[in-house]
Amino acid sequence: MDAVTLKDVVKIYKMGKVEVPALKGVSFSVEKGEMVSIIGPSGSGKSTLLYMMGTLDKPTKGEVYIDEVEVSKLKGNELAELRAKKIGFVFQFFNLIPRMNALKNIALPMTFLGISKKEREERALELLEMVGLKDRWNHRPSELSGGEQQRVAIARALANNPSIILADEPTGNLDTKTGKEIIELLVALNKEKNQTIVIVTHEPGIAEKCRRIIHLKDGLIQKDEVKPS
């Protein structure tokens, strides 16, 4: 079964009269349990592609399926629910809510689904333990290092057991060593929990960690490479 499928996705940004084609017809599927990296130079459309997969933006043309549901058919509130339930985002700049401690940040996606406080906190603590920050539950983002913040962000992405994790340059704002640890954490998640993960990066060293690498250039897939295991 596919976690995400894109069929001939085109995205054209209109800036006044100028049309910027960010994606020129992209098709591929990510199977459940896969770990895929999308690599390409700056401006090649990686982030745009990831946002399409995460239903944050609508394609100009083409279709996006999450768990085999076509997302353009969903209404606003259904889309929000789908994002809460099925997608976990990890961003380059962590994007935690500054006024909330680690526990609350992780619990946030669960509150959007109306999950009880007790259940939320139990699950959040479990996830904190998994990313190795259990004793830091009461710390705010400003009291955590970049690597730690990204761990919290990953835990938040996992909160509602999503079908897929979408990470946009998750190591882009970290030093090499910490970046490696974060990738290791994601790899472990994929291996041990069979978590589907898509990582956008422009660092070949990070792409290498994934069995499948999609090369993007000028809004087109140049190569879809699957290493033999």
Partner 1 sequence: MLKLIFKMAFRDFIMRKARTILTILGVAIGIATVVSLVSISTGTKAQMEKSLAGLADFMVSPSSNAFGTGSKMDYTYYLYIRGFPEVEAAAPYLEGILAVNNKLSLIIGLDPSIDAIHSSPIKEGRSINWSAKEAVAGYAAAQSLNLKVNMILHISKGPGYKGEDFKLVSILERTGGFIDGEIYIPLQYMQRIMKAEGKINGVIIKLKSPNLANSFKQRIKKNLPDLEVFSPGTIMENIGEVLSLLDSVLLAISGVSLLVGVTSVLSTMITNVIEKTREIGVMKAIGASRRQILTIFLFQSVIVCLIGGILGVFFSIGVSPFLEQQISLASGISFQAVYSPELVLGAIALSCLLGVASGFIPSWKAANIQPVEALKYE
Binding site for ligand ATP (CB under 6 A): 13, 15, 20, 22, 40, 42-48, 202
Q: Residue 206 in contact with residue 219, Cβ under 8 Å? A: no
Question: Shortest Cβ distance from residue 23 to partner 1 (Å)?
Answer: 13
Give the residue, chosen from 20, 113, 188, 226, that forms a contact with partner 1 under the rule CB under 8 A: 113
Give the one entry of ligand ATP, partner 1, Mg ion, none that residue 111 binds, where binding means its C-beta sits below a cut-off of 5 to 8 angstroms depending on kind.
partner 1
- Residue 75 has φ and ψ, to the nearest 5°, of -85, 170
Strand partners, 2: 31
Question: Shortest Cβ distance from residue 100 to ligand ATP (Å)?
Answer: 27
Question: Among 87, 25, 29, 30, which residue's Cα sits nearest to residue 60?
Answer: 25
Question: Shortest Cβ distance from residue 94 to partner 1 (Å)?
Answer: 10
DSSP tag of 68? T
Residue 198 three-state SS: strand
**191 belongs to the binding site for partner 1 (CB under 8 A):** no
Give the one entry of Mg ion, partner 1, ligand ATP, none that residue 97 binds, where binding means its C-beta sits below a cut-off of 5 to 8 angstroms depending on kind.
partner 1
**157 belongs to the binding site for partner 1 (CB under 8 A):** yes
CA angle 72, 78, 79 (to 5 degrees): 55
> Token match 């400003």: residue?
142
> Token match 């199977």: residue?
31
Closest to ligand ATP by CB, 50 vs 144, is 50
Q: Residue 190 in contact with residue 158, Cβ under 8 Å? A: no
Rounded to a whole number, what is the distance in angstroms from the first to the last CA of the chain?
Answer: 20
Q: Residue 75 in contact with residue 82, Cβ under 8 Å? A: no
The separation between CA 157 and the C-alpha centre of its own chain, rounded to angstroms, equals 8
Pick the piece of the chain touching Mg ion (CB under 5 A) from 43-51, 108-116, 148-156, 173-181. 43-51
Give the one entry of ligand ATP, partner 1, Mg ion, none that residue 22 binds, where binding means its C-beta sits below a cut-off of 5 to 8 angstroms depending on kind.
ligand ATP
Give the residue, chosen from 10, 12, 74, 80, that forms a contact with partner 1 under the rule CB under 8 A: 80
Contact residues for partner 1, defined by CB under 8 A: 51, 54, 56-57, 76-77, 80-81, 83-85, 87-89, 91, 95, 97-100, 108-109, 111-114, 117, 156-157, 160
Residues near Mg ion, by CB under 5 A: 47
